Structure 1
Amino acid sequence: MVSIVIPAHNEAAVIGANLRRLLAGTEPGEFDVIVVPNACRDRTAEAAAEVPGVRVIETSVPGKVPALRLGDEACKTFPRVYLDADVELTAGSVRALVAACARPGVLAAAPVPELDLAGVGRLVRRVHRVHDRMIAPSRALAGVGVYVLTEAGHARVFPMPDVIADDGWVHTTFAPDERAVVAEARSVVRPARTVQAHLNRRVRVRRGNRELAALDRAHAGGPGLGSLAGLVRRREVSPIDAAAYLSVLVLDRAVSRVRRDKAGWGSDLSTRAATAPAE
C-alpha cells in the first residue's frame, strides 16, 4: 500500500514505541517500513529491528538526507511516507494521507501537527503556542515531521541534495494546489522543552532557510508582527503569550546573527549552491 522511510539518529528511547504505534491495526505487508539508523551511538538499530515487519538499513554515514536517500532506494512502492523517528503517526493517519495523494493534481501531502507540550517550560510553552498559530496558515509540508510523495512528486524531489531543511526543500518543490494538508491525519510533534533548546533549533532553521535561498528555493515571507497583533485582538493568544514570544524572538535573532558571523555561513552556502545537483 505504502512505503515509509524513517531516518533515525540516536532515537533508541522512542523508536520502538513509535513503530509499534504506527503499525498497530495494520495487515501484514500493508506498510513497507524502512528504518535507517545513521551514525548512531545507541541501540536505535536494535530497538527498531525488534519490531515485526520493519526493515533496518544501518549506515555509519551521518546526516538525515543521506539516510533518506538510502531508505528511498530500498522502497518497494508508492506513495512514500518520510517520517521523523521522534514523531508519532498512526496507521489511520497514513491511510488518510495515502487517500489524499489519490486526488487529481495532488503530488505531496502532510498531516496537521499536534504539539506534545508535556515537560515544556512555562516560557517556551507560551512561545510554541504563539508560533504554532502564526505559521499554521502557511505551514503545509514543512515543520510537521511527515510528508508523503506520489510517484510524480518523488520524481521532482529526488535525488535530494544535502540540505539541512529537507522538508523545506520538499515544500518549495510544489505549488500550493499540488500539496495537500490532510485534516483527518495527525502527527504528534515534540517541540523544544527549554528556551535554550528552542534557540538552538531556531538557529538551525534560519541556517536551513538561508541554504534554501542560496539554492533558489526560498520560502515565502513568514508571518509578521501584524499577524501577532491580530491573534491578540482575536484573543487566540493572550498579551502575556505575545510578550513572551517577542522577548524570545529578540534573543533568537541575536543568537542567529552571532553564530552566523562566527561560522561564516555565507561562503558555505554559496559553495553548496554551486555544487547542488540540477533538478
Structure 2
Amino acid sequence: MGAVGEPVVSVVIAAHDEEAVIARCLRSLTSGAKPGELDIIVVANACSDRTAQIARAERARVVETPIAGKAHALSLGDAECRTFPRLYLDADVDLDVTSLRRMLTAIDRGALACSPVPQYDLQGVSGVAARFHRVFDRLLAGRRGLSGTGAYMLSKEGHGRVFPLPEVISDDGYVHRSFSASERRSVEDARSVVRPARTVGAVIRRRARVRLGNRELERLGRKADEPALGMGQLMTLVRQRQIGVLDALCFLIVLLADKVVARGRRMRGTDAAWSADRSSR
C-alpha cells in the first residue's frame, strides 16, 4: 500500500456549511491512520460558517470557493489530489480507516469503483421516517451499488471514466451508472455510518431529489442496469414478516408524496436547483 509517509489514497470531501459534522467526519477517517497515509482535501463551497477553519484545524487541506454545488466542489477537490485511488466522501458520513483499507483492497483486486455498505444511524429520526428507512434498507439488501452510501472510491481507470464530472443532481448515481455490475463492487466488510433524513418532510424532499436525479441521468444516457424496485419485492418482505404492514404503508405513502413533489418541481422549473438537506446534521 505504499511506503510510510506516502499517501496511498486521496480523499475529497465537499462541504457546504458543515461545521457541525466536519470534525467528526475527519476524526473518524484519520483515527488509526498512518502518518501521511491519507491525502485529504476538504472543499468548503459557499460556506457562511467555520467549516474551513475546523477542517484546517483537523489538518486537512482546504479549498474554498464561493460557488455552491457538490459536483463543482468535487471537481475542485479532485484537481488537488496527489494520488490514486480516490475516495469521495460526504461530510456528514463517518468512514473509518479500516473500512477505507478494505475498499482499497477491492480496488487492488480489479474493481474500477467500490463503496461501503451503509449503516443507518436512526437516532433522532421520527417514527414514520425510521419505518421508511428500514424498509428501504431491506429492499436494497443484496443489490447495493455506489449510490446512497455516502462514499465511493475510484481507481485511476475508473476515474477516467467519470471525470470531468458534469453538473448533475446525483453525483453518486452518475458514478454508479458509469460502471457495469462486474466493474463495481459493494464491499461487504466496509461500513459507512449514514445519518438519513430525520423527518417525514425531509425524507420526501430528499427522495424527490433522487427521483429528479434519476430522470436527469436517463436524459444524459446513464441508464440503470438493474430493474426498478416494485410492489412484488415489498409484498415479499411483508409475507416473510421482515417488515410489518404499517411499515409498508408508510413506505408507499412517502413514495407517493415524493412523486408529487418531484412533479411540482419539474412544473416550476426548479428540478435542477441545487440544495442540501440539513435535517441529518
Indicate whether the TM-score tops 0.5.
yes
**Deviations, residues 150-191 of structure 1 (Å, cap 9, x unaligned):** 001001011111111000110011010100111111001111
% identical equivalent positions: 52
Q: C-alpha displacement at 1:253, in angstroms?
A: 1.7
SS at match of 1:177: coil
Matched ranges for 1:213-228 at <5 A:
213-219=218-224, 220-228=226-234
Letter aligned with residue 34 of structure 2: E
Residue 26 of structure 1 aligns with which residue? Answer: 33
Which moved further from structure 2: 215-224 or 77-86? 215-224
Which residue in the other structure is 1:275 paired with?
none
TM-score between the two structures when normalised by the length of structure 1 = 0.92
Any unmatched runs of 5+ in structure 2?
Answer: 1-7, 274-281
1:177 aligned partner, one-letter code: S
Q: Is the CA contact 1:108–1:178 (under 8 Å) kept in the aligned structure 2?
A: yes
| Partner of residue 146 from structure 2, selected from 135, 141, 144 | 141
Indicate conservation of the 8 Å contact 1:210/1:218, yes or no.
Answer: no
The alignment covers a number of residue pairs equal to: 265
Residue 75 (1) aligns with residue 81 (2): yes
Higher helix proportion: 1
Amino acid at match of 1:228: L
Instruction: State the Cα deviation string for residues 201-255 of structure 1 (Å, max 9, x = none).
Output: 1111111111101101122442001000011111111111111111222222222
Aligned mate of 1:16, from 12, 18, 23: 23
C-alpha separation in 2, matches of 1:260 and 1:139: 28
One of 119, 127, 150 as aligned partner of 2:155? 150
TM-superposed deviation, 1:264: 6.8
What amino acid is the match of 2:75? R
Query: 1:262: how far off?
Result: 2.1
Map of 1:272 onto structure 2: none
- 1:65 maps to what in 2? 71
Distance 1:169 1:136 in 2: 21
- Partner residue of 1:166 out of 161, 164, 171: 171
Pairing partner for 2:211 from 206, 210, 213: 206
User: Which residue, 45, 49, 52 being the options, matches 1:42?
Assistant: 49
Please give the alpha-carbon distance, in whole angstroms, between the structure 2 residues aligned to 1:260 and 1:218.
20
Contact preservation (8 Å) 2:211, 2:259 = no
Measured after TM superposition, the shift of residue 133 of structure 1 is 1.3
Q: 1:114-125 alignment to 2 at 5 Å?
A: 114-125=119-130
Task: Give 1:91's aligned residue.
Answer: 97
Matches of 1:55 and 1:149, distance apart in 2 = 20
